[in-house]
Every structure is written in C-alpha cells, then in structure tokens.
Amino acid sequence: MQHFQNHISFASTGGLSGGSARAAGHWQLDDIAFDQIQHEAIADNEDLFYLLMSASFVETGSDTYAANLAEHYSDYPEIAGWLRERWEAEELQHGAALRRYVEAVWPQFSWQQAYDSFFGEYSKLCTVEELNADRHLEMVARCVVETGTTAYYHTLREMSDEPVLRQLLGHIRNDEVNHFKHFLKYFKQLQEQSPVSRTRIAGALYARLKELRESDSDVALRHVFAHRGRYFADSGRQFADIAQRVYQLVSTQLPADLAVRMLLKPLLLPQRLESCLYSPISKFATRLMAA
C-alpha cells in the first residue's frame, strides 16, 4: 500500500533530527524511464486509470497539508523541519512523478483542469483545525495514514504488469515506509516526554482508520470521474459502481500482514501481546476497508 519482506525493522534512529530536502541517494524523476512505458500493458486498464489519477491529485496537493502539519508541530522545530524539508519534498515528488506517468499514458485527460477542480474542494479539508489537538495522537494518526499509503502503493504495484509503473510505485512505497518510521520515531519520543495512555492511542488509531476511505481518495476519485472525457466513457459504469469496485479491488489485495504489523506499532505493546492481537485486528481492518 512492493515486494516486502514479512518483517520490517521499525527501530528508532535517534533524536528528533531534521534533514536536507532529499536524503542522500534518494531516487529522482530522471531515474524513471517514462519514455519506455509499455502503453499496451496499461492504457486499457480502467481501474488503474482511476486509482493512479486519484493518487496523482492527492500527492500533488500535499504541500498544503504539510504546511499545516508543520505549523501544528511548530513547538518542536526539528519535527517541523523534517516535515517541511523532507516529507513535503518527497510527497510532492510523488505527485510530479505520478502526473508525468498518467499524462504519458492518457494524454487527452485534462489533468490540470481536473486537479484544479479537485483542489478547490480538497483544500477546504486541509486546515489546522482538522488535526488532532493532541500532538501525540496526531502523530498516531500520521502512522495510520502512512500505513494506508504503503499498503495502497504496494497493492497498485501488484495490480500492474507495466515495468516502469512497477518501478515508480516501488520507489513511492519505500518512501512511505520510511515516512512511517519517522512518524513512529517522533511519536515514541513525544511519549517519553509526556506519555498518553494506550486507550487513547487505540482510540486515535481506530478513528483515523475509519476515516481513510472517506477522505482524500474519495474526493479525488470523484473529480477524476467528472473529468474523464472520452476515457472509459463507454464502459457504462456510474461513479458509485466505479468507487465500489476500486475500493473492493484494493481491499482484497491489501498486504494485511504488513499493514497490521505497522498499525500495532504505535501501541508500543510487549511482543507477546502484539502477537496475540495480530489476528483479530487483521480481520477487523480487512472488513473495515472492504465495507
């Protein structure tokens, strides 16, 4: 949401440190061979048309959200610095890369017009007031979101046979894993300073998990559908049908093992208890995403 190993190390890497706009060795747009896209392997895939277009919108609009989040953590300059200098830059790079890919595959889609329409609605949802007032719990929410995006890009990668897209989605997926690690690290350090209870943490996890389907991706998908033009216009599918299909398609292919292990991390549970909770939470999360 990747061919992941089943076990990923989420160890903290030290203090609340910021970073340069890009990590050393981080992939660049020029690393993606857009001129080698195998169009016949992707152009007729209606599901990926909607999913990739939607993702390109959300990622492109991430600077507004990143600015609000940095403001929310302004009392923690090193966290705010990482958000501005690394997280925002990498999210915007995802948007630029996805836009370049979808415009190469579906060149007659009016991307800028559709995006402007999307952003007119989306920007109203991106306010500081929408963030959890407790900065510990907002960091927990960030872990949920990064879990969702990791699983999402993993799933899209598995859905595609197009080599350039698989490479691109692999890069984005790995970035999202790294972002999760940073948010988890910062949460742990906030906990060390002034801990909140596991009950409140579990409540924040549950609340944010329920919101995943109803937020960014749903808004984006509606605007892609409204501006699709000639693309898949003869399929006869209504928006509700498309939304239900793509959500079910993604949910049935989610890497549940990876996602649930990530979701459990902010609870900071003893290993034995985490193992006991894995199965019931995995079943719950799968049902919630498929609803």
Q: What is the mean pLDDT of residues 196-202?
A: 93
Q: What is the mean pLDDT of residues 104-127?
A: 94
Q: Report how far residue 231's alpha carbon sits from residue 52's, in angstroms, rounded to the nearest whole number.
A: 14
Q: Report how far residue 250's alpha carbon sits from residue 47's, in angstroms, rounded to the nearest whole number.
A: 10
Compute how many other C-beta atoms are within 10 angstroms of the C-beta atom of residue 106.
Answer: 20
pLDDT digits (tens, 9 = 90+) for 39-87: 999 999 999 999 999 999 999 999 988 999 999 999 999 999 999 999 9
pLDDT digits (tens, 9 = 90+) for 208-267: 877 765 566 789 999 999 999 999 988 888 999 998 888 888 877 777 777 888 888 998
Q: Report how far residue 214's alpha carbon sits from residue 207's, in angstroms, rounded to the nearest whole number.
A: 12
Structural domains in the chain plus CATH codes:
41-290 (1.10.620.20)
Q: Report how far residue 141's alpha carbon sits from residue 196's, in angstroms, rounded to the nearest whole number.
A: 14
CA 40 to chain centre: 27
Q: Per-residue confidence at 18, pLDDT binned at 50, 70, 90?
A: very low
Q: Report how far residue 222's alpha carbon sits from residue 220's, in angstroms, rounded to the nearest whole number.
A: 5
Q: Report how far residue 66's alpha carbon sits from residue 193's, in angstroms, rounded to the nearest whole number.
A: 24
